[in-house]
Structure 1
C-alpha cells in the first residue's frame, strides 16, 4: 500500500513538473528563435547593428518587468494562477509577433513575450520547488531549466529547417506549447506552502498527502511549514542581515549566469560565425550543435545536482568553461576561421556551452527557489529573476558592439575572466543545499550556519 502511494506521489509530482516546465520550453524557444530569425529580419527590415540589439533586447526588457510584476501576483493569487497568466501572455505575444509588419510592432510583440518569460522564470521554479519532496527537488526543479534548453535547441533546429521559409513560421510555432501550458495548469494543484501561507491548512494537507509517499511524511512536512510560517514579509526585509547570505548566493549566481556570456553565444552565434567566414547554413548548424550540447549538459546537471550537489557541480565544471573560452578567443586572435581552425572554434563553443550550462544555468533557478525564506520567497525569487534578466539585457545590448570594438578574441577572453571570477564566488559564498528541506535552509539562515563550510573554516582559522 505504501509502495503504491509512493508511486502515485512520484507520478503526480513528475506530471506537475513536466506541465509547469512547459513554461521553460516557451522561455527557451522564444529567446532562442531570434538568433535564426535575425538573419532574415535584418534584411527584411533593414536592421542596423543597433536595431538588431534592440529587437533582441526587447524580450529581455519585457522579462525584467515581468519577473518583477509576477512576485506580488504569485503571492496574492497563487503560483498556479500566475503561471496561467504567463501562458496567456505567451499566446498573445506569439500572435502579435507572427503577424508583425513593422519594426515597432515586432519590438512590442517581443516585449509582451518577455513579460511572459519573466513571469515564468520567477514563478515556475518556486511552484515546482514547493510541491517537490526534498530528495527529488533538485531533479524536478532542473526540469524547468532542461525545458528551457530544450526549447532553445528546438528553436535552433526550427531555424535551420525553416531557413528558406518565412521567419513568421519560426515565431508562430510557439503557439503550440503556450496552449499546452495554459490548459495543463488548469488541472494542477496549488502549492501547499502558498496555501498554508494563506491559512488554508486543510487544503495544504490534502495536496501534501497526494504528493508524498505516506500521510506521516505529509504531516511532518506540514508541521514544518506551519512552524516556519511567518506573515508575508515586506520588500525591505530582503536586505535584513540574517537574510543577506541568501541574497548574495542567489543574486550572485543569477548575475553570473548571464555575465559569463552564455546568452551572448545563444543570441548571436549564427551572426558571429557568419561574419567570421562561415556560410549562413554552416552558422545555423553550429547553433544546432550548441543547442544539443546545452540539452545534454542540462540533463546531466539534473542528475548531478542531487548526486554531487549544487555547489560541487559548479566548482567542478566552471574551470572547463574558462579553458574553452580562452581557446575560442585564441582562434579569433589568429584568424583561424577556416579548415581545422574553424572546427576548433566549433568544438570550443560546444565545450564552453556544456561546462557553463551544466553548472551555472542548471543551478540558477534551483538555488534561487531554495534559499529564500517562505515569507519572502516570491519577492526574493523576483529579485533573482530581475538580476538575471537585467544582466541578460546588458549582454544582449552590448555583445555585437563588444565584438566590433574588442574583436572576437577580446570578447571571449573577457567572458573567460568572468567565468574564473564566478568559480571564486561559488567557492566563497554559495552553500550546499542538496537533500535539505526548505524549512531546514531557512533555519540555517536564522541561526547563522548558512555559509559554505570552506568559508566558515577559513574564518575560524
Structure 2
C-alpha cells in the first residue's frame, strides 16, 4: 500500500501489519461462505428458468411474449432491488439487509412454486428479482469491506463463483428432473422449489454473522467495529485498520460526501460512470442470454430438446471451472489486464460463433457440436477473465459513504441492460438468427474494449481507503495504467 496524501495536506499510515494465520482467518472464511449463499441463490434463480420455461409455458399457456415477460420480470425486479438494496444497506446495515433479502428469496420462491397462472408467476419472479438485485449489490460490498486488501479480490470474488455454482446447480437439477420426471406436468415447480433450501440457510447463517466494520465506523459505532475486526484480524492488524478507516471517515464527513450530493465532485461522478459502464459492458457480452436461453440456442444450433437440456450443462460446468481459475487470478494479475484479456477472448468467440453458423448450415451434423464448443469457449472466457473481475471492481472502487448507493446505481444499470436483453433475445434470434445476434455481440465487445482501455482505473493491491482517497481527488486516473 503506497503512501497516500489526503485532503488538507494530512496523511495517514502507509502500511498495515502483515496478515497472519489463526482462528481469525477461519472466521473470515466462514463469514464469506455464509454471505455467498446470496450469490448461490442469485445464480440458481436466474439459471433455473433455462430448463423450467418450456414445461411452464405448456402448463400456464404462455405465448412468446409472455415467456419473455416471465424471464425478464425477475431482471427488472433485480434492477429495482439493486438500487433499493444498496441504499438500504447504507442506512440499515449490510448484515440486516442480507437477512431481509433471504426472506424475499424464500417468499419469491414459494410464490413461483404455487403460481396458478401467468400473473402470479410474474409477481413471484419480481419478488425474486428484488432479492437477486439486492444480493448483487450488497453481498459484494459486505465481502469487500470485511476482507483484508491483500486478499480482497479472492474474498469478494467468491460471490461470483457461487453465482455460477448456483447456475450450474440449476442446469444439473433441471436436466435430472426434466429427463426423469419430464412427463409430470408439475416437474418445473420442483425445479423452482429447490431454491428454498439455500434461502433458509442464508437466513439462519446471517443471524450469526457480524456487521461490516466499515459500515459500523461510518455510524460512529467504533467499539462494535473494533470488536468485529478483532474476530477476523490479528489484534495488531485490527487496531491499525480501525485507525485507518476512522481517519478517512472523519475527513469524508467534513466534506459531506453522501448520496446524489456526492456527484457534485466530478471525480466521484466519473467513477460512478465507470461503474455503470463496467456493468452494462458485462451484460452486453450476452452471457446471461446463454444462461437463460441456452437450451433454445442449442436447439437452434441443431440439438433436439432433451439433448439440448443435457448439453446445456457443459456451459455451466465450464463457468464454474473458469470462475475458480478467475478467482485465483484476482491476486496475481491486474484488474485492467484481466478485463482487456476477457473482452478480447469473448469478442473473438462471438465472431467465431457467427461465422460457424454461416459455414455450417442447418442440417450439417457438425453444426450443433461446433457451436456448442464455441459457446463453451465463450462462457469459459467470460467466467475466467470478466465476471469475477467486474464484480470485484464494483465492490471496491466507490468511497465508503456512497458505496451502497453507487454500487446500487451501477448494478441497476447492469440489470436494466440484462432485462432488456432477456426480454428481446428470443425476438433478436428469430429476426437475425444466431449469426446476426453474435455478430452484434462482437461489435459491442470492440466498443467495450475501447472503454476499458481508456476509462477503467487499476485497483489491485491497495486498501479501500487508499483507493477512496485517489478516487475523490482524481489521482486514480493519473496512475491507472500499468
Question: Which TM-score band applies after superposition, normalised by the shorter structure?
Answer: over 0.9
Q: C-alpha offsets along residues 324-354 of structure 1, whole Å, 9 cap, x if unaligned?
A: 1111112222444542222110110000111
| Match of residue 324 from structure 1 | 349
| Match of residue 446 from structure 1 | 472
| Match of residue 365 from structure 2 | 339
Q: Is the 8 A contact 2:19 2:237 kept in 1?
A: no
Aligned to 1:150, which of 148, 160, 165? 165
Q: Does 1:191 find its partner at 2:212?
A: yes
Size of the aligned set, in residue pairs, is 454
| Match of residue 245 from structure 2 | 225
| Match of residue 16 from structure 1 | 31
| Match of residue 4 from structure 2 | none
Q: Is the 8 A contact 2:90 2:403 kept in 1?
A: no
* Alpha-carbon shift at residue 427 of structure 1 (Å): 1.4
In structure 2, the CA distance between the partners of 1:4 and 1:68, relative to structure 1 (3 Å rule), is closer
| Match of residue 71 from structure 1 | 86
Q: Does 1:435 find its partner at 2:461?
A: yes
Task: Note the 1:13-412 alignment, pairs <5 A.
Answer: 13-163=28-178, 164=182, 165=184, 166-212=187-233, 214-229=234-249, 230-231=252-253, 233-238=258-263, 240-337=265-362, 338-412=364-438
* Alpha-carbon shift at residue 135 of structure 1 (Å): 0.7
Unmatched tracts of structure 1, length 5 or more: none
* Alpha-carbon shift at residue 29 of structure 1 (Å): 0.2
The 2-side partners of 1:12 and 1:292 are apart by: 29
Please report the TM-score for the alignment, with normalisation by the length of structure 1: 0.95
The 2-side partners of 1:185 and 1:169 are apart by: 26
The 2-side partners of 1:52 and 1:334 are apart by: 31
* Alpha-carbon shift at residue 454 of structure 1 (Å): 6.7
The 1-side partners of 2:372 and 2:480 are apart by: 37
Q: C-alpha offsets along residues 163-201 of structure 1, whole Å, 9 cap, x if unaligned?
A: 115100000000000000000000000100011011011
Q: C-alpha offsets along residues 230-261 of structure 1, whole Å, 9 cap, x if unaligned?
A: 34613232352021332132211101111111
Q: C-alpha offsets along residues 149-174 of structure 1, whole Å, 9 cap, x if unaligned?
A: 00000000011111115100000000
Q: Is the 8 A contact 1:297 1:357 kept in 2?
A: yes
